[in-house]
Structure 1
């Protein structure tokens, strides 16, 4: 068996995706788990989806759905995107689809529809785009939108006292449900860090590829990670989601 690697938020940065997969030395028996937000920001969102559909035919891939992916799925379904989405990177995604046929758009829509809300592996490790609010875990979540939007899971881990033991009555019950949790959604740049961050038993893989940061990929067993160049260096004539 090969490695299992987890990939953070891409946000239309196809150059960064190709670069980081190359730097990690990906081979066909590696399993790849993508944490969502493939689109919106840099100019190559549709190219990413096209590449990932082909990649999944060559090796085992798990695709988690992010909030930006849900927005894009709605646009592909109904032909209209919300102003909020367009302002938050959706405009570049729409433009990237200018030359696609109806048949190709339908294939991409099917790809979005097949994405998972979350994944739990045999080692009781959770992979989810954002988080969940239920103390009983994501399968008991009342609002499925929390899979793609919740920040309280990460905020809780960041605010925790590092000395708090897992057997303490004060240790958050949500965190005890899994051996490890891998998330994206909230850039590590928000706490001034440019690489994957571990807080409590959570690993945050969103290293700010939508903005000034890099795209990151990590071996979930060894915790070795690789990063692309900062996205502004790969797209010097663009502004990503800073526009």
Structure 2
């Protein structure tokens, strides 16, 4: 069985088109959506509806991303609006309100929030039920990662860190240098959240240095000998650059290894 993974779609129907191509190539594959479905491009409502349909049809699993959590927080409490709007939430509200009503409303207005609450009840309920990780075959999918400095990262990493963490997942705890952390699990780890063009460092005990090459954001593999790999698949869609249109990764369920991909910005 093959597993298709995509993360950080950020409201881009172009990414969803790439996904459909890969799903047609692997019609029996299950798809794992790794979070951040909104903010950045103007089709948040359409992206969420596509994901909800695939999950309902049992063709896919979806997990929570930090941008999805910010939308949920906004729907529950308008006091959470400023932080989300600084991360693209204002454009998401404007596009989702327009998709629901055909009207253009100021995203910060009470009327826009009323539309969001009234028209996207099912969407809010869907997001509220999303898990922060998914285990499938030999793989663990999580939006941001685990705190690998913990004695038991799987047990001790908080729900918040699973959708927000960065350095404590990418690098080892002694960060006097940017040295990639080891994978403590006997599972392949697949994450999004951090555009791969922003990740740089070297291996523990090695001299080879991986430089950031932003805006290029291909799939990045970090693997030590005798350890399962970690795959970083955020294709930089939230960067605002038109050439960044996501990565689609295909894995072998039994080995947890990448066997195919569609990378739009290698």
Which category describes the TM-score, using the shorter chain as reference length? 0.7 to 0.9
Q: Which residue of 2 aligns with 1:225?
A: 261
Unpaired stretches in structure 1, ≥5 consecutive residues: 162-170, 231-243
**More relative contact order, 1 or 2 (CA 8 Å, 6+ apart):** 1
Unpaired stretches in structure 2, ≥5 consecutive residues: 101-114, 199-211, 224-228, 253-257
Using the size of structure 1 for normalisation, the TM-score is 0.79
Q: 1:178 Cα shift?
A: 3.3
Q: Which residue of 1 aligns with 2:222?
A: 199
Q: Which residue of 2 aligns with 1:210?
A: 238
Of 127, 142, 158 in structure 1, the residue corresponding to residue 141 of structure 2 is 127
Q: Which whole-Å CA distance do the structure 1 matches of 2:169 and 2:79 have between them? A: 32
Using the size of structure 2 for normalisation, the TM-score is 0.73
Matched, 1:144 2:159: yes
Q: 1:93 Cα shift?
A: 1.0
8 A Cα contact 2:55 2:62, kept in partner: no
Deviations 1:158-198 (A, max 9, x none): 9447xxxxxxxxx74xx222321000011012121421000
Deviations 1:181-232 (A, max 9, x none): 00001101212142100012210000101113221111112431013579xx
8 A Cα contact 2:219 2:263, kept in partner: no
Q: Which residue of 1 aligns with 2:201?
A: none
8 A Cα contact 1:9 1:36, kept in partner: yes
CA RMSD of aligned residues (A): 2.5
Q: 1:81 Cα shift?
A: 3.9
Q: 1:120 Cα shift?
A: 1.8
